[in-house]
Structure 1
Amino acid sequence: MANFYLEAFKTFVKIGAFTLGGGYAMIPLIEAEVVEKRGWVSKDEFVDMLAIAQSCPGVFAINISVFIGYKMRKTAGALCTALGTALPSFLIILAIAMCFRHFINIPWVSAMFMGIRPAVVALIAVPTFNMAKITGICLTNCWIPIVSALLIWAFNVNPIYVLIGAGIGGYLYGRIIKPTE
């Protein structure tokens, strides 16, 4: 169905073109388009795809778009959504690279970038809180993502070790602690 490919490409071009802050800032837009508006994947599938995309090497936004495209139309769908996601960023970066050094010393341009930075933090925080709500993070287990983030940020622990530790902890909890509760 050629119509799906055009629709998917346009959807991911729009997401890629109008999202500042990278892959994590794209999460609410992707979720709104793919889960809520188009129903291509369920909310649970989307959360699982986020976890897998984060765990895989490569650019997060491309990973998540590939998983969505592949689920919908296998390899051709994955190529279509990945291209749609990457093309706007590529063209914007190319234009900025050609012109940036001429504009960075202009005070209003520099001020604009200073204003965008905190907004990008908010764009990353919103999907984090949404994902926490969806995955059942509450007061009794909120220590897990907090400790994980501190290990990575403050102590420079490799995220792979944090994921392995969390997986082992979850396994042990499910096999040893939870049955006795």
Structure 2
Amino acid sequence: MADVEVLQLLVSPSHRLAGRPADGLPSGPPDERVSQVEVRRHLGLVGDRYYARPAHRNAAVTIMAAEKLPLEIGPSADLRHTRRNILLRGVDIDGFLGATIALDSGDGPVVFAVNRPARPCAWMDVTIGPGAQRALRGGGGVRCTPLSDGVIRLGPATFRVLPDPDGAA
């Protein structure tokens, strides 16, 4: 078990990075960060654009390590720029592909299957700055399936890898 910090949470009701990056950013709310998220088993984050979408059930939640943000390129880079859902400090989440993990921010553990990398796209060079897409290769976060219901809040949390792929401790 490791102590981590949930730095940011993002729930976006619409897909904001559509079209071509050369066309510029589409309009939308200036800040979709929230202080807590409701997680639903096999569905995702309540209110998010990928919630209950069959095509995204195995990738409904994206978790990223704060240590991987290319702050040398974009000093203010955060979830608004990467469009990930959960930003953690204290764990290299990209190293847990194929694992089942539990994140507990005080309301009980929320279990996720870590399925695949969240590959950075050309939009990163627009939202963060030139070179961000390349800088985020291998560190763009992971796409996950929630295996339990729960709540994740900003602040201190515990992170652990579960031995059983079904999420039982």
TM-score (norm 1): 0.29
User: Which structure's residues are more often strand, by fraction?
Assistant: 2
Q: Which has the higher contact order (CA 8 A, sep 6+)?
A: 2
User: Which structure's residues are more often helix, by fraction?
Assistant: 1
